[in-house]
Structure 1
Amino acid sequence: MRSILAAVLCTACAAAQAGDITLYSHARLGGPAITLHEATPDLDPLGFNDKTSSVVVHKGRWQVCAEKHYRGKCMILDVGEYAELPGFDNMVSSAREVDAPARK
């Protein structure tokens, strides 16, 4: 019984730690948007491939990539608002939360 309770608590803790990112189709956080709560190796099935022009990272640290399955040109985004994505506009095809950098 204890092991089941521990497993449930660990799952709840992991979910509470998970990040959130919202991708917007227009600059300055405008237009249709989609919020991700987990790694998404292909945005095409969600109808959002190559449509991201701005981003809000609500929680966590995220990697967004120009190709499916986290390939091609990628960039890391920390918590904050990104009203524009210079050099990355309409290029995002995959996104995933990544570990935070080690603290000194």
Structure 2
Amino acid sequence: MSAIVAALSSSAAGASESSEPPVLVMYEKVGMSGKQVTFNGPVADIDVRYPFHSTTIKSGRWEICTRNDFKGACMDVDAGTEIVSLKKEFGFFARVRSLRPIEEAAPAAALAEAPTQPEIISAPVIAAAASADDAPVQPVASAEAVLRGHSAHFFKTPMFNGKAIDAGDKGAAKDFCREAGFDEVEFADSVLSEGRRVVGDLLCTDPLVSP
């Protein structure tokens, strides 16, 4: 997969030389770590294959939304803001899909004609996965009985990429919690599913606050 090339919006080009252009950096993992994607203009449909888990607002004021065309749940954030876990702000199943500098907010129809694209600034350049095993693991939980608190999250039958977690793999439950933005496994039990033991109830605690 080739790197995505960024283009400055025309409105930013017309801004005064003394004003600092808006810049926002999204990160692949919680705590501002992993691959980085830098945005300097509005993007109505973010085309990056992995979800963002944290962000830093370098300059300007931004609107971040969970649906395309700046819809869904949206958040306004100012320069200097760091969000260590976007899923704690928007919910575990949400994903940032559009964003824009508030000063440069434009109608969605105009953005569709000439969308600004983000720039991959981290090295090495992202390459397509050689196989399904190489693809990044994404935590998913059953839609039933998911309970979220300030410093803990309960999951019923959590899954990695559509597969229930093997109860015999002692590190898998903690890996799931870390992908979800938590550092510890407070409680985990097992259930029998299709002839094998898998993690049934999982309680993750201690939010990650640094990479």
Bigger RCO of structures 1 and 2 (CA < 8 A, at least 6 apart): 1
Q: Which residue of 2 aligns with 1:11?
A: 14
Q: What's the TM-score, normalizing by structure 2?
A: 0.37
Shift of 1:87: 3.6
CA separation of 1:52 and 1:67: change in aligned 2, threshold 3 A: same
Change (3 A) 1:15 1:23: farther
Large movers: runs of 4+ above 6 Å: none
Amino acid in the other structure paired with 2:84: A
Structure 2: how far apart are the matches of 1:36 and 1:15?
Answer: 20
1:43 aligns with 2:71: no
2: CA distance, partners of 1:59 / 1:20:
5
Alignment counterpart, residue 34 of structure 1, candidates 25, 32, 37: 37
Aligned to 1:23: 26
Matches within 5 A, 1:1-104: 11=14, 13=16, 16-44=19-47, 47=48, 51-79=51-79, 80-85=81-86, 86-88=88-90, 91-99=95-103
Alignment RMSD = 2.3
Q: Which has the larger radius of gyration?
A: 2
**AA aligned opposite 1:71:** K
TM-score where L is the length of structure 1: 0.72
Instruction: Quote how far apart the aligned CAs of 1:12 are.
Output: 5.2
Q: Distance in 2 between matches of 1:38 and 1:29?
A: 20
The residue matched to 1:63 in structure 2 has which SS?
strand
Distance change >3 Å, CA 15–CA 36, structure 1 → 2: farther
Output the amino acid matched with 1:38: G
